């Protein structure tokens, strides 16, 4: 974990060899300015990793916010770590976007969708994204590729069908 944080913080020099030196370096770096760690797939972390995050967060000089994100079982895994879960400020469960939310949010998400026909956005959601923001991100990447390859100025259903065929 220390080495990952050293790399993520883009610290200069060689990583310290001893844990106490490493901890001092990381705490100093985390005290310099506010930082936010986004820890994805948190349900796969072990207790030792959670304890280390808690250790860094508890240091009074650090300016650290940690966001744990995960899929199925993440809440259960985090709750098993009482020293960490007691420090969680907000537990937030994300659900799929409703069709109305899709029409409101997706045009703001990326310029590709800003001038798209609402019917095309609804078409994309009902055939591929299903209100899932991660699916919208993938679809957007493929849609950008399709627009670049075809030279078309806007999304249409033919272009979307091609993008759908590229989704995993």
Rounded distance, CA 160 to CA 142, Å? Answer: 9
Query: In this predicted model, what pLDDT tens digit does every residue of 27-84 receive, in sequence order?
Result: 999 999 999 999 999 999 998 999 999 999 999 999 999 999 888 888 888 888 888 8
Does pLDDT of 106 surpass 90? yes
Over residues 127-131, the mean pLDDT reads: 96
Q: What angle do CA 50, 26, 82 make, to 5 degrees?
A: 20
pLDDT reported for residue 74: 87
Does pLDDT of 143 surpass 90? yes
Over residues 16-28, the mean pLDDT reads: 94
Take residue 130 and report the two structure tokens written for it. 């299903």
Runs of H (alpha helix) within the chain: 2-8, 19-32, 47-58, 74-79, 82-85, 99-109, 111-114, 118-124, 133-150, 157-166
**Residue among 95, 94, 97, 92 at smallest CA distance from 136:** 97
Over residues 6-22, the mean pLDDT reads: 93
Rounded distance, CA 78 to CA 125, Å? Answer: 32
66: helix, strand or coil: strand
Per-residue confidence at 102, pLDDT binned at 50, 70, 90?
very high
pLDDT reported for residue 56: 94
Maximal C-alpha separation, the chain: 59
Query: Which whole-number Å values give the CA distances from 115 to 100, 111, 118, 131, in the listed order?
Result: 17, 8, 9, 19
């Amino acid at each position: 974990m220390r080495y990952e944080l050293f790399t993520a913080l883009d610290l200069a020099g060689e990583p310290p060899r001893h844990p106490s030196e490493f901890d001092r370096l990381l705490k100093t770096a985390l005290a310099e300015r506010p930082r936010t760690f986004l820890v994805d797939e948190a349900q796969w972390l072990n207790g030792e990793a959670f304890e280390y995050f808690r250790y860094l967060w508890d240091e009074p000089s650090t300016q650290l916010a940690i966001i744990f994100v995960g899929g199925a079982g993440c809440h259960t895994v985090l709750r098993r770590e009482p020293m960490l879960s007691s420090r969680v400020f907000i537990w937030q469960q994300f659900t799929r976007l409703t069709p109305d939310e899709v029409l409101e949010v997706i045009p703001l998400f990326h310029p590709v969708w800003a001038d798209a026909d609402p019917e095309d956005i609804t078409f994309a959601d009902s055939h591929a994204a299903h209100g899932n923001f991660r699916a919208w991100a993938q679809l957007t990447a493929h849609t950008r590729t399709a627009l670049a390859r075809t030279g078309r100025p806007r999304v249409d259903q033919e272009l979307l069908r091609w993008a759908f065929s590229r989704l995993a």
